[in-house]
Amino acid sequence: MTVKNLDDLLSEGVRDRYVLVRSDLNVPLEGDRITDDGRVRAALPTIEQLAEAGAKVVVTAHLGRPKGEPDPAFTLAPVAKRLSELLGAEVALAGDLVGDSAEACTGALAAGGVVLLENVRFDARETSKDAAGRAELAAELAALVPGGAFVSDGFGVVHRKQASVYEIASVLPAYAGGLVLAELDVLKKLTDDLKRPYAVVLGGAKVSDKLGVIANLLTKVDRLLIGGGMAYTFLKAQGHEVGRSLLQADQLDQVRGFLAEAEKRGVELVLPVDVLAATEFAADAPYEVVDATAIPADRQGLDIGPRSRELFAGKLADAATVFWNGPMGVFEFEAFAGGTRAVAEALVAADAFTVVGGGDSAAAVRQLGLPEDGFSHISTGGGASLEYLEGKELPGVVALEGKN
Ligand SMILES: Nc1ncnc2c1ncn2[C@@H]1O[C@H](COP(=O)(O)OP(=O)(O)O)[C@@H](O)[C@H]1O
Ligand SMILES: O=C(OP(=O)(O)O)[C@H](O)COP(=O)(O)O
C-alpha cells in the first residue's frame, strides 16, 4: 500500500496551509450531553499535531444518521464544545457545511486555528448513491480549503463510500491520519498472524449492515457468538417467535443460509438460550427471563439472559483471539447491561488477543468501568473493523492509495 501519511504532510510543512481532516466524531449523546467522548479523544492527536504545526485545520465529521437535511437533533455543537475543552483552544462550529457560515469560518482561520464544519450528513450528497452528487459535494468541500490537503483520520467511517471519505481524496492531495494507520496496524494481526481458536462476538443494533459481514466471517472464524439486537433474526430464522424484538424480517432467508453454512463448515454458531424479555423499550420496563425459544408475543428481548452469559463466557474462556462488536443488550439501561458486562468481563479474563470495536461497544466497556488495559485493543470502528476482517477493501483507504 503506497499511502502518504500525516508525517509526510507535516514534513512538507503546513504553516498557514489549509488542511481538511475527516474525523469520526460520532459520539453517543443523551440530549446534548456526550455520554462517552472516546472518539473525540481519539481524533485529537491528529488535529493537535496539525494545529501545533501552524495549519489552518478544518474538521469535517458526521453525527448519527440524519436524513440529508439540517436537523438540530444531530448538530455537532456538543462535539465542538468537547473538542474545544480537550484542545484547550476555541473550536468554532460553522453553522453549515459548505454554505456562507462555513466560508466565513474557514476564511477567518488563522495559522494553528481549528474549525468544525456542521454535520456532513446534513447534505444529502454525502451519502448519495449518485457518484456525481458526491463528487460535487467533495469539490465544494475542497473549495473551502484553497491550496489545502486532506487527512483521512475517521477510521470508524472508512468503510463508507461517501463524499467526505472517498471522493474528497480525488480532489485534494490525500494523506492517512495516525488513527487510521494505528487501527489498521492492529487489525492486521487478526488477519496475518491469527492465533486459534478465533471467536467473533456480534451484537448491537445495526443488524442489516452487520449481517452482511457474516458470510465472509464464516470462512475465517472457529466460533461465532451472536447476541444483542442481532440475535432475534437468527432465532426467528430457526422458527422461534421473537415477539416485538428487533428483527430484520427481509433477511431471514439469508440468515437461514448462514446457519446451514456454519454447520457445513464446522463453525460453532452460538445463540442466546435465554433473554430478558421486557414489556417496552424503557430503562424501567418490567421484564422476565424467558427461554430464547419462548419469547412472548407482546415482549421484546433487551438483553441476553443469565444462562446465555455463562454460555458465552465459556465459549470465550479458551479462545486465543477474540473480536467483539456490538453490545449484547441495551446497556444504556442499567437493567439490561448485564449481558454486555458478562462478555466484557470474559474478554478481560481470557488469555487471548482481544479487540473490541465500535462506537457503542467501546463506550459500553468504559461506562461499565472495565479496565481499558484489560483489552489488547479498543477500536473506534465497528463496521469498519468488521469489513476489514472480512477481507473487503475499505473505500476510505483505497481512495488514499497511489495518491500524491
Ligand atoms: N436487544 C436489543 N434491542 C435493541 N437494541 C439493542 C439490543 N442490543 C443492543 N442494542 C443497541 O445496540 C446499540 C449499538 O449497536 P451498534 O451501533 O451496532 O454497535 P457499535 O456502535 O458498537 O458498532 C446500542 O445502543 C444498544 O442499546
Ligand atoms: O458509529 C459508527 O460505526 P459503528 O457503529 O460500526 O462503530 C461510525 O461513525 C459510522 O457510522 P454509520 O454506520 O452511520 O456510517
Residue 227 catalytic?
A: no
Choosing from 39, 56, 82, 341, the catalytic residue is 39
Residue 383 catalytic?
A: yes
Residue 39 catalytic?
A: yes
Mean pLDDT for the stretch of residues 220-238: 98
Q: What angle do CA 30, 32, 33 make, to 5 degrees?
A: 60
Phi-psi region of 20 (alpha: psi -120 to 50; beta: other; left: phi over 0): beta
- Pocket test of ligand 2: the residue of 157, 160, 183 to mutate, having most ligand atoms within 8 Å of its CB, is 157
Query: What pLDDT does residue 51 have?
Result: 98
Q: If we measure between CA atoms, which residue out of 188, 205, 159, 223 comes closest to residue 376?
A: 188
Contact criterion met (CB below 8 Å) for 347 and 123: no
Bridging pattern class, strands 29-30 and 33-34: antiparallel
Does residue 361 line the site of ligand 1, with CB under 6 A? Answer: yes
Atom of ligand 1 nearest to the CA of 210: 18
User: Tens digits of per-residue pLDDT, 165-196?
Assistant: 999 999 999 999 999 999 999 999 999 989 99
Phi-psi region of 228 (alpha: psi -120 to 50; beta: other; left: phi over 0): left
Q: b/e for 301-311, b at 16 or more Cβ within 10 A?
A: bbbbbeebbeb
Contact criterion met (CB below 8 Å) for 301 and 231: yes
Residue-range domains of the chain with CATH: 6-181 (3.40.50.1260), 194-390 (3.40.50.1260)
Evaluate if residue 402 carries a pLDDT over 80.
Answer: no
Starting from the CA of residue 39, give the closest ligand: 2
Query: What pLDDT does residue 25 have?
Result: 98
ipTM: 0.98
Residue 243 annotated as binding? no
Residue 329 annotated as binding? no
Judge if the upstream peptide bond of residue 28 is cis by omega within 30 degrees of 0: no
Q: CA-CA distance, 139 to 196, in Å (whole number)?
A: 46
Evaluate if residue 229 carries a pLDDT over 90.
Answer: yes
Q: If we measure between CA atoms, which residue out of 158, 71, 166, 86 comes closest to residue 125?
A: 166
User: Tens digits of per-residue pLDDT, 46-104?
Assistant: 999 999 999 999 999 999 999 999 999 999 999 999 999 999 999 999 999 999 999 99
Atom of ligand 1 nearest to the CA of 331: 27
Helices and strands counted in the chain (H then E): 16, 17
Evaluate if residue 404 carries a pLDDT over 60.
Answer: no
For residue 403, what pLDDT band results from cuts at 50, 70 and 90? low
Does residue 228 line the site of ligand 1, with CB under 6 A? Answer: yes
Q: CA-CA distance, 76 to 383, in Å (whole number)?
A: 21
Residue 361 annotated as binding? yes
Does residue 136 line the site of ligand 1, with CB under 6 A? Answer: no
Query: What pLDDT does residue 2 have?
Result: 77
Query: What pLDDT does residue 302 have?
Result: 98
Residue 263 annotated as binding? no
Q: CA-CA distance, 54 to 245, in Å (whole number)?
A: 52
CA of 204 to the centre of ligand 2 (A): 11
Q: Would you state the torsion angle of the CA atoms of residues 63, 65, 67, 70, taken in this order, to the nearest 10 degrees? A: -10
Choosing from 38, 227, 305, 359, the catalytic residue is 359
User: Tens digits of per-residue pLDDT, 119-140?
Assistant: 999 999 999 999 999 999 999 9
Starting from the CA of residue 157, give the closest ligand: 2
Q: CA-CA distance, 149 to 160, in Å (whole number)?
A: 20
Atom of ligand 1 nearest to the CA of 231: 1
Residue 15 catalytic?
A: no
User: Tens digits of per-residue pLDDT, 141-151?
Assistant: 999 999 999 99
Evaluate if residue 361 carries a pLDDT over 70.
Answer: yes
Residue 82 annotated as binding? no
CA of 383 to the centre of ligand 2 (A): 6
Query: What pLDDT does residue 1 have?
Result: 58
Contact criterion met (CB below 8 Å) for 151 and 177: yes
Nearest CA to ligand 1 atom 14: 204
Atom of ligand 2 nearest to the CA of 62: 9
Q: HEC profile for 279-333?
A: CCCCCCCCEEEEECCCCCCCCEEEEECHHHHHHHHHHHHCCCEEEEECCCCCCCC
Which three three-digit cell numbers place residue 54? 501552524
CA of 78 to the centre of ligand 2 (A): 18
